[in-house]
Amino acid sequence: MTPSLIPALETHDSQPFDLMLVPGLGRLFRWRHARPVLQAPLLIISIAMILHGLFGPTLAPKNLATTLSWLHFRGLLVLVLLSAGNFFCLACPFMLVRQMARRFLKPRFNWPRPLRNKWISVALFALILFVYELFDLWSSPWWTAWLIVAYFLTVLVVDGFFKHASFCKFVCPIGQFNFVASTLSPFEVKVRKQEVCTSCDTKDCIRGRRAPSSDLVLIRGCELALFQPRKVGNLDCTFCLDCVHACPHDNIGILSRLPGEELLTDPLRSGIGYFSQRKDLAALAIVFTFGALLNAFGMVSPVYAVESWLGRLLHLRHEAPVLGLIFTCFLILEPVLLLGLAAWLARAWSGVRGALLPLVVRYSYGIVPLGFGMWLAHYSFHFLTGLYTIVPVTQNAVASLGRPLLGLPRWTLTGLAPNLVQVIEVGFLLLGFAGSLTVIHGLAEDDAPEKPLRAFLPWATVCLILWLASMWLIFQPMEMRATLMSG
């Protein structure tokens, strides 16, 4: 799909569907206290997870911290991102704690200009993937609980010193995952009529609504510096709906759109700039995609053979350096080789002008759908095969307080049959593969209108390689992790 087709989609006879116009749901979203009401239950659950992780059963399948974090939360997260949008950030419990703390501690500083990019969050994203493997977080309630505590403390420290939503925009690795994945979501927070914004003098959606003849902000505007009339897509949008509450014209909705269309164009985006000039965003897209395969690779039996071979070859007796080598290969060497070669071939065959690095940056966003397909396949496998495990784990947690109010734990409850779930996984991977091919073909037609196929084929080959690797991974048996060899 070429960018020239997008206006035709936007001017279709039917108007975009607006979640804000759904009875009941629209009233909830317009309510100024909707966000804390949605955040409070997740905060209570987070506290329960921390306490159960620190003081509950050490066996992971019987603990709320590990079961909810690594089974249910991740599965629900990707499915909501696919079917709706970034609604987890809307209900994020970390932000509720931050807001309570800001009643007493007012941030004084602006985020440093040299750090107003995604490099810190890209590093933290990769670090969390690394720590997850190194410390077997999936099997350790204690480590999982401390990870949640560390997240709360980091939010308080960062947003305690720095104004606006600095943690969300520049630090939070979960938020960055959500931002990238939500480029494939079917809804976005968007203005309904541009002409209303053109005639608006106050710009409250970005500045906030202020008291008459005063600088006192009654309702804050977007803390992530996304000016709604010039906002494009879901990247950096937490769905906080501050702009909805601040807009005096009720001109902002949660509108339906074609998933992934924001990856096809490169306009100047409010708060972001041009995709083609953001190497940090390209790196985030690459880590998001290749990290999906790496995270799945860590859960299949061949990983042990690779770790053992590397340990013997390099005479390493500890897991950390071996994992570091595997991560370097997956997240640095492999992307550089595949994407660099594709850029060189596309430029040589099609005559596309420019240096290799800008070409890699431009097309790196095209592999995002494939990466999201892998995250969906992987997380949905654990979520659906363990769908009902929340019941006995909760029963056991309540019973440990002294009274089995929910009955005795029914440990026989598990989830859907793995064979059935595997069919769903294949469907997600096919969907992601098709999405990547569509985006890359649109970019190729725009870059080389006379020879689009030649510009398309190298990048399509990269997608095919990644898709075949993903298919191979999901057909591998998921095994219990073992401690690294010592020889």
Task: Write out pLDDT tens, residues 334-355.
Answer: 999 999 999 999 999 998 888 9
Among 93-97, 207-211, 348-352, the minimum mean pLDDT is found in 207-211
The H or E element that residue 189 is part of is: strand 187-191
Q: Given a cut of 90, is residue 9 above it in pLDDT?
A: no
The answer to whether the CB of 77 falls within 8 A of the CB of 88 is: yes
Q: What is the pLDDT of residues 33-65, one digit of tens each?
A: 999 999 999 999 999 999 999 999 999 999 999
Phi, psi of 258 (to 5 degrees): -75, 115
122 CB-near residues (< 8 Å, 6+ apart): 176, 280, 283, 284, 287
Q: Please give the C-alpha separations between residue 384 and each of 234, 389, 417, in angstroms, as whole numbers.
A: 27, 10, 8
**How buried is residue 283: exposed, middle or buried, by Cβ count under 10 Å (0-12/13-18/19+)?**
buried
Half-sphere exposure of 135 (CA within 13 A, CB side): 16
Q: What is the pLDDT of residues 376-423, one digit of tens each?
A: 999 999 999 999 999 999 999 999 988 888 889 999 999 999 999 999
> Token pair for residue 380?
């949905």
Among 158-167, 294-303, 325-334, 361-370, the minimum mean pLDDT is found in 294-303
- Residue range 199-208: mean pLDDT, rounded: 91
pLDDT score for 304:
81
pLDDT score for 359:
95
The pLDDT confidence band at residue 8, using thresholds 50, 70 and 90, is very low
- Residue range 223-239: mean pLDDT, rounded: 96
7 CB-near residues (< 8 Å, 6+ apart): none
The answer to whether the CB of 409 falls within 8 A of the CB of 392 is: yes
pLDDT score for 218:
82
How many residues can be counted in the chain? 487
The answer to whether the CB of 219 falls within 8 A of the CB of 242 is: yes
Percent of the chain surpassing pLDDT 90: 81
How far is Cα 132 from Cα 138, in angstroms, rounded to an integer?
7
The pLDDT confidence band at residue 215, using thresholds 50, 70 and 90, is low
Q: What is the pLDDT of residues 471-486, one digit of tens each?
A: 999 998 865 433 223 3
Listing DSSP states for 102-157 in one string gives TTT----BPPPGGG-SSHHHHHHHHHHHHHHHHTTGGG-HHHHHHHHHHHHHHHHH
Percent of the chain surpassing pLDDT 70: 94
Q: Given a cut of 70, is residue 17 above it in pLDDT?
A: yes
Q: Given a cut of 50, is residue 296 above it in pLDDT?
A: yes
DSSP 315: T
- Angle formed at CA 288 by CA 284 and CA 292, multiple of 5 degrees: 160
- Angle formed at CA 165 by CA 47 and CA 285, multiple of 5 degrees: 90
How far is Cα 318 from Cα 325, in angstroms, rounded to an integer?
12
Model pTM?
Answer: 0.93
pLDDT score for 89:
97
Q: What is the pLDDT of residues 97-150, one digit of tens each?
A: 999 999 888 999 999 999 999 999 999 999 999 999 999 999 999 999 999 999
The pLDDT confidence band at residue 81, using thresholds 50, 70 and 90, is very high
SS3 content of the chain, % helix, strand, coil (to 5): 65, 5, 30
> Token pair for residue 59?
């066996």
